[in-house]
Amino acid sequence: MDPEVEDIRVAVSTVIFSLRTPRPGDAPAVVLPLVKRTRDPFEGLWALPGGWLGACEGLDAAASRTLGETTGLAPSYLEQLYAFGAVDRSPTRVVSIVYWALLRPEEVSDVENVGWFDAADLPRLAFDHNEIVDYALWRLRNKVGYSRIAHGLLADEFTLAELREVYEAILDRKLDPANFRRQVDTSATLIPTDRFRTGSHRPARLYRYNRDVELADRGPLSRSPETSVR
């Protein structure tokens, strides 16, 4: 009972998702930023951004902080994903509290030592980070079906086609534009503006996200003070 507890360290990492459109007109793809490790273990491999949990900071705060420090990014959505604590996941004993985040395109900025990768085509990552990303992707795909997190990947104003492309990129299948339109407007979470996106063919109306509606129902956690992001 009560073995050498002191030897366990707590880290916090984040899987950050964003969208990238290779060239205008193309379908967007899910991408994520990784940092290159500059020391052992796994020196030279890519890894999730993260760092050690500070003695005087909460988990959510640590996730925001380490994320900012390593990538300079401040995401629009941040949620705890899972705690990974297998004994052999690192040479030393580390329990990682992993978060996942969504980034709007305007929030994307380029930082030294950060590389962006297609989520569907990742290299071999440090530690168990490949499994972690797989799990985060699974969560993202599930959650997009019953919440409004897709908006966390879009700018303030967007067309319905753009929103639909987000869903298509995440779910990896085509959606019927007509039915998609009806579904989002029965959910009453979008506010139509009087502006239009022009350029292609018939101008498309721009919508804004209704901020009265939460991106996702977090249940009792949303009342806890630790969970204040943005």
Partner DNA sequence: GCAAAAGTGTTGTTTTTACACCCATGA
Partner DNA sequence: TCATGGGTGTAAAAACAACACTTTTGC
Helix residue ranges, H only, 149-208 = 160-171, 177-186
Question: Residues 139-158 vs its own copies: string with x where CB under 8 A?
Answer: x--x----------------
The region of 20-28, 87-95, 100-108, 116-124 touching its own copies under the rule CB under 8 A is 87-95
Helix residue ranges, H only, 16-128 = 59-71
Q: Is the dihedral of CA 166, 193, 107, 135 positive or negative?
A: negative
Contact 11, 89 (CB under 8 A): no
Q: What's the distance, CA 229 to chain centroid? A: 14
When the beta carbons of 100 and 167 are compared against DNA, the nearer one is 167
Instruction: Rule CB under 7 A: choose which of 205, 210, 217, 228 binds DNA.
Output: 205
168 binds its own copies (CB under 8 A): no
Answer with the entry of DNA, its own copies, none that 1 interacts with (C-beta below 5 to 8 A by kind): its own copies
By residue count, the chain amounts to: 230
When the beta carbons of 135 and 180 are compared against its own copies, the nearer one is 135
When the beta carbons of 106 and 131 are compared against its own copies, the nearer one is 131
- The residue to which tokens 């490790």 are assigned: 37
Q: Residue 159 and residue 168: Cα distance in Å, rounded? A: 14
Instruction: Rule CB under 8 A: choose which of 20, 74, 105, 135 binds its own copies.
Output: 135
Instruction: Rule CB under 8 A: choose which of 45, 47, 95, 155 binds its own copies.
Output: 95
Go through 34-72 and write b for each residue having 16 or more CB atoms within 10 A of its CB, e for each that does not.
bbebeeeebeeebbbbbbebeeeeebbbbbbebbeebbb
Least CB distance to its own copies at residue 141 (A)? 9
Helix residue ranges, H only, the chain = 59-71, 129-146, 160-171, 177-186
When the beta carbons of 38 and 186 are compared against DNA, the nearer one is 186
181 binds DNA (CB under 7 A): yes
The region of 173-181, 185-193, 207-215, 217-225 touching its own copies under the rule CB under 8 A is 217-225
DSSP character at residue 149: G
39 binds DNA (CB under 7 A): no
What tokens were used for 223? Answer: 């009342």
Contacts with DNA by CB under 7 A lie at: 159-161, 176-179, 181-183, 196, 198-205
